[in-house]
Chain A
């Protein structure tokens, strides 16, 4: 390897270390005994590793329930978002219908409106529909994100019309074309979108805080925030909570990694 490549590798390794160090320390602290992390200088490793923090978290604080809430809401949000955004994005790209481009331009224009602006009207709307303090209410903002529709549409544009026409000649219905031709081709973008929605809904704080009042329904980030207000001094428990929050999405992200890298349309058309 040349010197140049060595230095690039070294630089990348350093950046990676700087990025990952706080995460590792978070894990480390979560195994420390109470007050250990508050010493000066703070220790890197727990002197006597303990599971006490996790026991407290899942026992006394009942974090299991919140974890379940979060998993449920994020999974549903992801599933529903895919269910609505993929056909919508595909339709905007490939189906001919009246007003298609005008509607799409309106949607894209709406992208510039920050989400927070819509929160109050949305809350009032849901209140009128009686969906406040329910999972349904928590899920509504994720149903059909404009960004997701936009993303799917842009990728669908690169699918050649002739391929869909070939399927039409082969006798496939529009639904079959979507399921058997378009979806497999879109796999990388679908995975990307799924991870994006899952992560965003998992980490979302504001909306669940606003819409979910019932303690039993609350998501993990909201529950931990309330918890941290009561246990400001206990870094160790907070870190254990942070580990519980981060780990699932990290695992999901790593597991799906290989899908981002594959190509979309290789081999369908000429050369």
Chain B
């Protein structure tokens, strides 16, 4: 097994630059998830690691080998595609054995590898079927099996669950986690589903428009997002962002004229400094408190156990989402007191970057 190091990866298609200098280090055995909005270059990056796209600049090192100009089959990677890409005319067994057959491995070795992979994935009973006779989830397993058989140093997954229905997606997510625990293979996993990212990743890389926005553990990214984009990308409902300025009293003056207390780090900012205040929906406290402000409930989304309140101060302002346990007492049109605890506030400068005190 081996780690992966990508340095300054650039890729252009014609005149459009899709990857604008991406550097990533994945430690041996680490499960790294790349997330980002559609079209940000996730697949392109993964395909570059696989050797299916040639980089315009930069280098890729797997283990201690520079693989930048090696063909896909010599990089020690295996890839699972979003569409599964099984060979339709071959049985499950033949699909999984294809790579080893091409490599002219001994028959006993092939049989062993296929059997082992089939056991891990629980598809022994399907080995003699053709892909057409499999369900979506089973095809997905076969695609993973084909990757396992290659015994790669790195697994590459490109949105492997996005074609499955919600139920199956949750189950397969769990299986990915246990598969990784079992095999311990270094993994690069692309998704635009932030729940997948949060649950599976040792580390998450947030990509936007061909650049890395932030790298960190799911917890780090959730608790200390580096900028507004990352803050809003992870977490549902997404983080509220309230435009504000620093008032003469050092408090945060909201656009509707009211003000809230800010964490200590705001003390360094002069009066009149514009900033954005972020707060996660679940961090807003409803109920009477010293600093609580009255809000009207514009709209309630009830999810069973939880409810999301959309709170509006003035007409026309972006509502503030607030998530809490649903006790059924609140109604649309009610006025509630809500407080935004300073300890849970995220402060962002005018450039969208998180404000940090020195040393943080």
Residues of A within 8 A of B (CB): 160, 162-163, 165-172, 176, 180-181, 184-185, 265-271
Contacts of B222 in A (CB 8 A): none
23 A-B Cβ contacts within 8 A?
A162-B85, A163-B85, A165-B81, A166-B85, A166-B146, A167-B98, A168-B71, A169-B50, A169-B51, A169-B73, A169-B79, A170-B73, A171-B102, A180-B98, A181-B87, A184-B89, A185-B89, A266-B88, A267-B132, A268-B84, A268-B87, A269-B83, A269-B85
* Besides the known contacts A180-B98, A267-B130, A267-B134, 15 further A-B residue pairs in the complex with CB atoms under 8 A apart: A162-B82, A162-B85, A163-B85, A163-B87, A167-B87, A167-B98, A168-B71, A169-B50, A169-B73, A169-B77, A169-B79, A170-B102, A176-B102, A267-B86, A267-B88
Q: How far is the CB of A235 from chain B (nearest CB, A)?
A: 49
Nearest B-chain residue to A166, judged by Cβ = B85
Return the 4 tightest CB-CB contacts between A and B, nearest first. A267-B132, A267-B131, A171-B73, A170-B99
Contact with B150, one of A170, A172, A267 (Cβ below 8 angstroms): A170
Q: How far is the CB of B23 from chain A (nearest CB, A)?
A: 24
Q: Is the CB of A185 within 8 A of B88?
A: yes
| Residues 92 to 108 of chain B near chain A (Cβ within 8 Å) | 98-99, 102-103
In the bound complex, CA of A169 to CA of B149 (Å): 12
In the bound complex, CA of A184 to CA of B71 (Å): 25
In the bound complex, CA of A166 to CA of B145 (Å): 13
Q: How far is the CB of B238 from chain A (nearest CB, A)?
A: 29
Interface residues on B, range: 20 to 34
Q: How far is the CB of A188 from chain B (nearest CB, A)?
A: 11
Contacts of A180 in B (CB 8 A): 98
In the bound complex, CA of A163 to CA of B131 (Å): 13
In the bound complex, CA of A234 to CA of B88 (Å): 55
Nearest B-chain residue to A173, judged by Cβ = B102
Q: How far is the CB of A248 from chain B (nearest CB, A)?
A: 30
Given contacts A169-B50, A267-B131, is CB(A160)–CB(B102) below 8 Å? Answer: no
In the bound complex, CA of A180 to CA of B60 (Å): 30
B288 at interface (Cβ–Cβ under 8 A)? no
B38 at interface (Cβ–Cβ under 8 A)? no
B170 at interface (Cβ–Cβ under 8 A)? no
